[in-house]
Amino acid sequence: MKPVKVGLLGLGTVGTGVVRIVEGHQEDLSSQVGSPIIIEKIAVKNTDKDRSVAVDSSKLTTDPWEVIRDPEIDVIVEVMGGIEQTKAYMLEALELGKHIVTANKDLMALHGAEILAKAHEKQCDVFYEASVAGGIPIIRTLIEGFSSDRITKIMGIVNGTTNYILTKMSQEGASYEDVLAEAQALGYAEADPTSDVEGLDAARKMAIMGTLGFRTNVELQDVTVKGISQVSKEDIQYAKRLGYEMKLLGIADREQDQVSISVQPTMVRTSHPMAAVNGVFNAVYVYGEAVGETMFYGPGAGEMPTATSIVADLVAVIKNLKLGVNGLQTIAPYKEKKLKSDDQILSKNFILLHVDDKAGVLAQITQVFAEYGVSLESVVQQPNASTPEAEIIIVTHNASKSSMDKVLDHFEGLEVIRGIKSVYRVEG
């Protein structure tokens, strides 16, 4: 049977994995799709580089346009990264009737709607399973597995770098700086780790999952983001003492038609299955009105896990190609987006205050919470041996973001409070 020809943009870690799987699993793959799959052309930065897979040098080019405009090529697999230029490649590929498989979360979070609209117009497939949680097939689960349900909450540990750092800080009592340096040495963190540690990478993935789960067009600017660079080893020890693990947790939730999406360091109750997701692993917890609690766990990155998701998408594109139904199964978001106001965003909160160690302070502080209608689950005051300060550790019941902001504003003006040391969301 006539082989399906694939053009690959990028031959870094993930691209290499794609070549390995397409070549190594050729028999299994062609049994499923009914014809051989050939990687016809590969765009790379440097054609002379030594590589860990054998690739016929005649297939390599430094010009992505050569891949995109090759009339023999049916499907483009994009694993080169980048945003604006890559978007131009993708739109041109679609214009030429080629289907796309991409692992590019940045591209999909920022320009997904435009790319999917063009794909719809051209009756092409654009699949992007690998863009969220590497080896976990969470995108098809959200689209197909839960098509009948109404999802009300998606929680994700979707950034392996930060989860590695927080796990190490928790297990070894190490500082953020030390573990980050170690993670960089091991290749788990980039030389410039900003996008990971400041939560941007996780925010992009949450925007993609929120769009699919709530069927409304969640954009990156809709996601409230706070990273982990301010998390201290003391914070993590407080969390543990109270029965929580600190996680960089994305939460997308929905009540009626209103949604909120955020990524922030969160204390997760130890008994919750998400608290046990350690190291570079990812997990996505989905709550549906009918199904209840589900969780999907696996590797979030890496050459081979990410490549399995890409090649699974490639198999899906090729099956559609054989059936002549590419581009017909996409469901565009059909619900008007309504974001929750700060009055409607509820969470439990952990607050650590340093205060003057004298009588009446605790009463003054609890009075502030009462004034803004925030009720408390627990309050502990303890002297700090080395200073004339005391620590007050507060866990609230569910409180609105706006009330909490007012409480914290009020605290700024209170003389007895020497410092608001930490504030974290609490989950479970």
Task: Tell me the window of 2-10, 15-23, 238-246, 390-398 that interacts with a copy of itself (CB under 8 A).
Answer: 15-23
Among 115, 179, 315, 426, binds a copy of itself (CB under 8 A): 315
Q: Give the span between the Cα atoms of 303 and 386, in whole angstroms.
A: 49
Q: Minimum CB separation from a copy of itself for residue 312, in Å?
A: 5
Contact 348, 397 (CB under 8 A): yes
Q: Quote the CA–CA distance of 388 and 411 in Å, as a whole number.
A: 19
CA distances from 218 to 110, 127, 288 (A): 10, 18, 18
Interface residue with a copy of itself among 329, 367, 378, 387 (CB under 8 A) is 329
Stretch that binds a copy of itself, among 180-188, 325-333, 337-345, 387-395 (CB under 8 A): 325-333
The answer to whether residue 279 forms part of the interface with a copy of itself (CB under 8 A) is: no
16 annotated ligand-binding residue: yes
**Is 136 a binder of a copy of itself (CB under 8 A)?**
yes
Which of 7, 15, 137, 227 touches a copy of itself by CB under 8 A? 137
Any idea of the CA torsion for 155, 160, 161, 162, to the nearest 10 degrees? Answer: 20
Are the C-beta atoms of 35 and 319 separated by less than 8 Å? no
Q: Are strands 399-400 and 346-356 parallel, antiparallel or unpaired?
A: antiparallel
Among residues 104, 141, 262, 403, the one that binds a copy of itself under rule CB under 8 A = 141
Q: Which residues of 280-295 are buried (b: 16+ CB within 10 A; e: fewer)?
A: bbbbbbbbbeeeeebe
Inter-residue contact 75 to 100 (CB < 8 Å):
yes
Q: Report the largest interatomic distance among the alpha carbons of the chain, rounded to a whole angstrom.
A: 85
CB of 1 to a copy of itself, least distance (A): 15
d(CA 69, CA 128): 21
Q: Is 135 in the site for a copy of itself (CB under 8 A)?
A: yes
Q: Does position 269 bind a copy of itself by CB under 8 A?
A: no
Q: Is 298 in the site for a copy of itself (CB under 8 A)?
A: yes
Least spacing, CB of residue 356 vs a copy of itself, in Å: 44
- The answer to whether residue 331 forms part of the interface with a copy of itself (CB under 8 A) is yes
Out of 59, 98, 118, 205, pick the active-site residue: 205
Containing 22, the helix (H) or strand (E) segment is helix 13-24
Position 53 contacts a copy of itself (CB under 8 A) = no
Q: Look up tokens 């788990």; give the residue.
A: 188
**What does the per-residue mask of binding to a copy of itself show for 150-169, with x meaning CB under 8 A?**
x-------------------
In whole angstroms, what is the distance from residue 259 CA to residue 187 CA?
36
Interaction of residue 292 with a copy of itself, rule CB under 8 A: yes
**Number of residues binding to a copy of itself, judged by CB under 8 A:** 55
Determine contact, residues 342/405, Cβ cutoff 8 Å: yes
CA quadruple 164, 170, 176, 177: dihedral, nearest 10:
-80
Orientation of helix 160-172 relative to helix 176-186, angle to 10°: 130
Does the annotation count 338 as an active-site position? no
Min dist CB 278 to a copy of itself, Å, is 10
* Interface region with a copy of itself, contact rule CB under 8 A, candidates 59-67, 243-251, 261-269, 328-336: 328-336
Question: Which residues are known catalytic residues?
Answer: 205
Q: Footprint of a copy of itself on this chain (CB under 8 A)?
A: 17, 20-21, 25, 28-29, 31-32, 129, 135-137, 140-141, 144-150, 215, 273, 276, 281, 288, 290-299, 302, 304-305, 307-312, 314-316, 319, 323, 325, 328-329, 331, 334
Q: Could you list the residues known to form a binding site for NADP(+), using ranges.
A: 9-16
